[in-house]
Amino acid sequence: EAKEVQILQGPTARLSDMVLSADGNIIIAVTPNWIEDREFHKLWLWDIRNSEELSVLRDIGKSGQADVRGADTLAISPDGTLLALNACAGRVDLGLGGLICEFAGVQLFNTSSGQLEVDMSHAFVNGVWAIAFSPDGKLIAASGKNGTAKLFSAPSGKEKFTVLEADHHTIDVAFTPDSKTLAVALGDGTIHLFNTETGDESNVLEGHAEAVTSIAFSPDGALLASGSTDSTVGIWDVSTGQRLATLEGHEDAVLSVAFSPAGTYLASGGNDKAFRLWGLPR
C-alpha cells in the first residue's frame, strides 16, 4: 500500500517542474515563466532527509540584458553539479492578457554556488519544451517550441548539432543509457532517433494518432516508451523501430512515462488524473 511520507512546504505559486538530485537527497522545483510577479521567479530546494527547505537560487533574476523570468522545465547533470533550466529572454506582449518568449534557451547553474555558469538563452525562438542531460554528462539536448531540437556540449554549452527542424513542436527529448542515441518526440505523433556522435537521424517511429508528449528509454536501452495525447502508451523496440505493444487504459492524454530501475515496470500518468503501473516481460 502506497503511503504519503512527507509534505514539503514552500512555494505558494504553481510549480512547473521538479527534479531529483543524482544522490536522491535533494528535490528542486521551479515556478513557470508566465507568472507575472517576480517574487515567485525562484527555484526551491528541499533536503528530503530532514524536510529542510534550502535556497541556492532565490531569484532567477537577470542574465546580462535579458529579462529572465521563471522556467517551465529543469534537468540536473548526472554528477549533480549543474542545473539546466529553460529561460525566457526578451518578452513579447500579444495584447491578449499574456506574454510569450521572443527568444528562449537554456541556462546552466552551478548547484553548489547558485551561480550562472553558461547562458544559452538565445538558442531558440519561442521557447523550449524539454531539456535532458546525457547519462555520461557530456551532452545536453533541448527541444524548441518552433520545431527544432539541438545538442550542446556539456559543461561548455557550445552548440554541437541542430538535429531536427520540423513543422511541429518538438515536445520531449531522451537519451539511451549509453548516451549514443537521442530520441525526440514530436507533435505530429512521431519519434525521431539520432546518433549523438554524428547528429544523423537513424530511425523514425510512427504509430501514435496524436502528439507524443513523453518518452523514456528502458534501463538497458532496448525499449522506448511513449505517452501520447491519443490516450495510449507505446512500447517500441529501439533497434528495429517496431512497435511492440500499445497500452490502453487512460481516458485522456498521457503526459508522463517512466521505467522502474530494473525495467520490469512502466509508470504512466495523464490528464485523467490516473497513475498506472504496467508490468513488462522480463
pLDDT (tens digit per residue) in 214-272: 999 999 999 999 999 999 999 999 999 999 999 999 999 999 999 999 999 999 999 99
What is the enclosing helix (H) or strand (E) of 85?
strand 82-93
Non-local (6+) Cβ contacts of 70 within 8 A are 16, 30, 31, 32, 33, 34, 35, 40, 41, 42, 60, 88
Asked, for residue 185, whether it belongs to a domain, the answer is no
Verify that 228 and 200 share a domain, yes or no: no
How many other CB atoms sit within 10 Å of the CB of residue 92?
Answer: 12
Verify that 170 and 214 share a domain, yes or no: no
Verify that 133 and 223 share a domain, yes or no: no
Asked, for residue 95, whether it belongs to a domain, the answer is yes
Overall average pLDDT of the 123-134 stretch: 85
Overall average pLDDT of the 42-59 stretch: 65
pLDDT reported for residue 173:
97
Non-local (6+) Cβ contacts of 36 within 8 A are none
Verify that 270 and 141 share a domain, yes or no: no
Verify that 154 and 233 share a domain, yes or no: no
pLDDT band at 95 (very low <50, low <70, confident <90, very high): very low
Verify that 200 and 234 share a domain, yes or no: no
Verify that 234 and 170 share a domain, yes or no: no
CATH number at residue 118: 2.130.10.10
Q: Which domain holds residue 75?
A: 1-177+195-204
pLDDT tens-place string over residues 114-128: 778 888 877 777 778
Q: What is the pTM of this model?
A: 0.84
- The helix/strand/coil state of 222 is coil
Asked, for residue 183, whether it belongs to a domain, the answer is no
52-54/201-205 β-pairing: unpaired
Asked, for residue 145, whether it belongs to a domain, the answer is yes
Closest CA to 216 of 250, 254, 273: 254
Asked, for residue 190, whether it belongs to a domain, the answer is no
pLDDT reported for residue 168:
87
**Are 60 and 68 spatial neighbours (Cβ–Cβ below 8 Å)?**
yes
**Are 190 and 201 spatial neighbours (Cβ–Cβ below 8 Å)?**
no
Asked, for residue 228, whether it belongs to a domain, the answer is yes
pLDDT reported for residue 56:
45
Verify that 266 and 199 share a domain, yes or no: no
Overall domain count for the chain = 2
Residue written as cell 499574456? 98
Higher pLDDT pick, 150 / 42: 150
Asked, for residue 39, whether it belongs to a domain, the answer is yes
Verify that 60 and 173 share a domain, yes or no: yes
Asked, for residue 42, whether it belongs to a domain, the answer is yes
